[in-house]
Structure 1
Amino acid sequence: MSNNETNSIRLQAKRSHNREHSVPLYLTSSFLFEDAEQARAVFADEEEGNIYSRYSNPNVDELLTKVCALEKAEDGFAFSSGMAAIFSSMAALLKAGDHVLSARAVFGSTHQLLTKVFSKWGITFSYADTAAPEQWESLITPATKMIIMETPSNPGLELIDLEWIGELKRKHNLILAVDNCFATPILQTPADYGTDLIIHSATKYMDGQGRVLGGIVVGKKELIDEIRFFARHTGPAMSPFNAWVISKSLETLSLRVEKHCENALKLAQTLEGHKALDFVRYPFLPSFPQYELAKKQMKQGGGIVTFAVKGGFEAAKQFVNNLQMISITSNLGDTRTIVTHPASTTHSKLTEEERAATGITPGLIRVSVGLENVNDIIGDIVQALDVIV
């Protein structure tokens, strides 16, 4: 099966003797062996089999099989959260003295890992600006081992040309890790461009209903083997229940993402030019600075719209407080539309200078556009803006 919609529905764990149509929950901490010899053989990797749910579990295996198919990846591991996936991928593959080249526009917690955690272990990093591709190669040193990036970025929606970055990593023999959370494999597949690791916060669009936490890394088998070893012995594994929930959610991922994109584009088109806003950003708006790149590597523009309210933080706060239907929370990718003010929440731990460098202005608003009737979404946002004009 090669079709994404079919893979996300039909790739299921092996059925039990009960012949269930939908995979059951395997809520067990450990698994039995027929005898002492089988236990020895499974622990010695001479025979396949589950040992302990921190290592593997049928629900987790099913989820990973689906995501690997969607992302055209060889292998994967599922984590308790998206940040556990990012941390473990880097910690498993880097050592003291290594250098990381990162896009400047990364999630706030990824920034904290680079600046506050890995720095204690003798791992250094450099930030490169998305808008200055000529800068990237100049920052690569003999110690550089990995490139890590998001496209589109959170929250500024900055894009990186996956074809170009793939060529750069091959030229310098680096590991390329791409956070594909915002686009999902429905809209783009980084593996097509030579990406080694694809990372997801499965909490977002993969679950899509704000219920459970999860993180996934898929990619080249030799790298996943190292990540699996690290994760098995440090313990950040996804629970069987969360894997079961997310696996079932993948059955509707393509339908949901398509609708998220349709609603987001209509919202962006409506808001563009509103007198209360300095700008509206959405990858499939012709006014988007990287519109041609977005059309080249994404099938649709995604479910996130950002805009800047005139008047800075106070005006942005007034807008948020004026909302009547839309949720105010820090999650995204939900069926319900969500508004976030990044400067005071998700990216508040960055300095003012660091936020400015990634385009996070005091008036910036991130909208995760949900699946409600688009006229209701637009109506709530427009009325909240009209009050502050």
Structure 2
Amino acid sequence: MDFSNYQKGTTSVWGGETELFPDGAITPPIVNSVTYGYKDLDEWHNVALGKAEGYIYSRNTNPTVHVLEEKIKALENAEAATAFATGMGAISNTLFALLTSGKRVVSLKDTYGGTSKLFLDFLPSYQVNVTLCDTTDHEQLEAEIAKGCDVVYLETPTNPTLKVVDIERLAKAAHQVNAVVVVDNTFATPVNQNPLKLGADLVIHSATKFLCGHSDAMGGVLCGSAELVKKVFQFREINGASIHPESAYLIARGMKTLELRIERQNASALKIAQFLKGHEKVSDVFYPGLETHPGYAIAKKQMSGFGGILSFALKGGYDDVRKFLPQLKLVHLAASLGSVSSIAGPPRTTSHVELTEEQRKHLGIPESLIRYSVGIENVEDLIKDLDQALSTL
């Protein structure tokens, strides 16, 4: 079914679910079968070769997983989609499928810590040429892209400093040298931003976060060009980073309320950012919805909402972070984000725990920074909670 003429809330509910399931069920069944039987050998062979629809082995494809893939495909208006066991499974499989020895990738200094680890350690060990640019220096990025590259990897807004890059501008530069543009859209979600419409070739989500929305299932998704998704899928099915059907079911179920959750989180995050911006104990607030944010103009151009994540730095440094966070009563101190309940923590224990303090400093991430993922709680209660915790400093 073509969802291009429907709004995101409708697509979130009906994507991948327009037909009745076996026995007339209106809810997707969790199909735990590892393998699928055939009485006709020719039919079996055609399905195995991809010449006919069907399932062979759940490491490759699965009916429950297919629902999730169709849902994200519809939300991002993509040609194809494939799912992974985790968000990092999606990121690493995509990069290793597209980059081999001698190839070059241009990216940002501000990507998620696990992604940074791939760029700083893993890919160079496979003789992949990695160039990381200052995230908001579009001229430097364009100059490096113009030298020739195979992949341009972007993340916007970035984790955890909420920097914003111009997807359309950089995609044009990348396509001039025939590079593939990959965008991590986890923070923005398909409700707030659609990179494929801005020129990207592939979009990645850590489905564990906002797509799932309840911190009870892990997964990753990739969508975009059918040709490129197939290339990554073939790497993934052999590499084995397949998502479990139960996780796929939980994520797809969570996605049905995606628009409702994101609209609430967008509004609450902006109010909280405005509150923190004026607080005497806070030195910096990073949220693209603030007009004082350096990337506000770009964010306003390419995003329909500014997201449910913000970060802020305390004037007293990491000592204040240690005092402040345990005083919060309506926030989980944990390493994830995008849930119905608010979650907070410093990069040294969350987004960039894999990196050393020196590496975080090199990437421009202060130890005084706190990443705050806004839940769906009443925003006035969250602001009161932040205020009382700040008053203890």
> Which of 193, 201, 205 in structure 2 is aligned with 1:196?
201
**Aligned-partner SS, 1:380:** helix
Separation in structure 2 between the aligned mates of residue 20 and residue 60 of structure 1, nearest angstrom: 17
- Pairwise CA distance, 1:212: 0.5
Separation in structure 2 between the aligned mates of residue 191 and residue 322 of structure 1, nearest angstrom: 42
Give the AA of the match of 1:326: V
CA contact (8 A) 1:78 1:237 kept: yes
Separation in structure 1 between the aligned mates of residue 147 and residue 100 of structure 2, nearest angstrom: 14
Separation in structure 2 between the aligned mates of residue 203 and residue 349 of structure 1, nearest angstrom: 19
Deviations 1:110-153 (A, max 9, x none): 11111221112111201111221111133237662001111000
Pair 1:179-2:179 in alignment: no
Pair 1:304-2:309 in alignment: yes
Separation in structure 2 between the aligned mates of residue 252 and residue 274 of structure 1, nearest angstrom: 33
Match of 1:282 in 2: 287
**Aligned-partner SS, 1:148:** strand
Match of 1:31 in 2: 36
CA contact (8 A) 1:156 1:358 kept: no
Match of 1:8 in 2: 12
> Which of 236, 242, 247 in structure 1 is aligned with 2:247?
242
Query: Structure 2-normalised TM-score?
Result: 0.95
Return closer, same or farther for 1:377/1:297 CA change in 2, 3 Å cut-off.
same
Once structures 1 and 2 are overlaid, which stretch shifts more, 276-285 or 353-362?
353-362
Pair 1:262-2:257 in alignment: no
Give the AA of the match of 1:177: V
CA contact (8 A) 1:103 1:128 kept: yes
CA contact (8 A) 2:138 2:170 kept: no
CA contact (8 A) 2:145 2:174 kept: no
Give the AA of the match of 2:352: H
Separation in structure 1 between the aligned mates of residue 178 and residue 22 of structure 2, nearest angstrom: 48
Return closer, same or farther for 1:95/1:286 CA change in 2, 3 Å cut-off.
same
Give the fraction of aligned pairs with identical amino acids, expressed as a percent: 37
Pair 1:48-2:64 in alignment: no
- Pairwise CA distance, 1:348: 3.6
> Which of 369, 381, 392 in structure 2 is aligned with 1:387?
392
- Pairwise CA distance, 1:345: 3.9
Give the AA of the match of 1:8: S
Pair 1:220-2:248 in alignment: no
Give the AA of the match of 1:15: L
Match of 1:67 in 2: 72
Unpaired runs of 5+ residues, structure 1, are: none
Give the AA of the match of 2:296: Y
Separation in structure 1 between the aligned mates of residue 108 and residue 388 of structure 2, nearest angstrom: 36
Return closer, same or farther for 1:267/1:233 CA change in 2, 3 Å cut-off.
same
Separation in structure 1 between the aligned mates of residue 391 and residue 22 of structure 2, nearest angstrom: 61
CA contact (8 A) 1:12 1:23 kept: no
Separation in structure 2 between the aligned mates of residue 349 and residue 10 of structure 1, nearest angstrom: 38
Separation in structure 2 between the aligned mates of residue 147 and residue 115 of structure 1, nearest angstrom: 15
Pair 1:104-2:109 in alignment: yes
Pair 1:21-2:26 in alignment: yes
Give the AA of the match of 1:169: A
**Aligned-partner SS, 2:307:** coil
Separation in structure 1 between the aligned mates of residue 360 and residue 380 of structure 2, nearest angstrom: 32
Separation in structure 2 between the aligned mates of residue 29 and residue 114 of structure 1, nearest angstrom: 34
Match of 2:132 in 1: 127
Separation in structure 2 between the aligned mates of residue 35 and residue 202 of structure 1, nearest angstrom: 37
Once structures 1 and 2 are overlaid, which stretch shifts more, 92-101 or 19-28?
19-28
Separation in structure 1 between the aligned mates of residue 298 and residue 45 of structure 2, nearest angstrom: 53
Unpaired runs of 5+ residues, structure 2, are: none
Separation in structure 1 between the aligned mates of residue 344 and residue 221 of structure 2, nearest angstrom: 25
Separation in structure 2 between the aligned mates of residue 184 and residue 196 of structure 1, nearest angstrom: 16
Give the AA of the match of 2:305: Q
CA contact (8 A) 2:268 2:374 kept: yes
Aligned ranges for residues 292-371 of structure 1 at < 5 Å?
A: 292-371=297-376
Separation in structure 2 between the aligned mates of residue 64 and residue 222 of structure 1, nearest angstrom: 16
- Pairwise CA distance, 1:44: 2.7
Give the AA of the match of 1:325: L
Give the AA of the match of 1:191: L
**Aligned-partner SS, 2:120:** helix
- Pairwise CA distance, 1:354: 3.3
Aligned residue pairs, count: 388
Separation in structure 2 between the aligned mates of residue 338 and residue 33 of structure 1, nearest angstrom: 47
**Aligned-partner SS, 2:355:** coil
Give the AA of the match of 2:384: G
- Pairwise CA distance, 1:83: 0.2
Match of 2:89 in 1: 84
CA contact (8 A) 2:12 2:255 kept: yes
**Aligned-partner SS, 2:26:** coil
**Aligned-partner SS, 1:342:** coil
Separation in structure 2 between the aligned mates of residue 287 and residue 324 of structure 1, nearest angstrom: 29
Separation in structure 2 between the aligned mates of residue 205 and residue 337 of structure 1, nearest angstrom: 12
Separation in structure 1 between the aligned mates of residue 287 and residue 146 of structure 2, nearest angstrom: 34
Give the AA of the match of 1:147: V
Separation in structure 2 between the aligned mates of residue 30 and residue 350 of structure 1, nearest angstrom: 40
Separation in structure 1 between the aligned mates of residue 308 and residue 21 of structure 2, nearest angstrom: 38
Q: What RMSD in Å do the two structures reach over aligned CA positions? A: 1.5
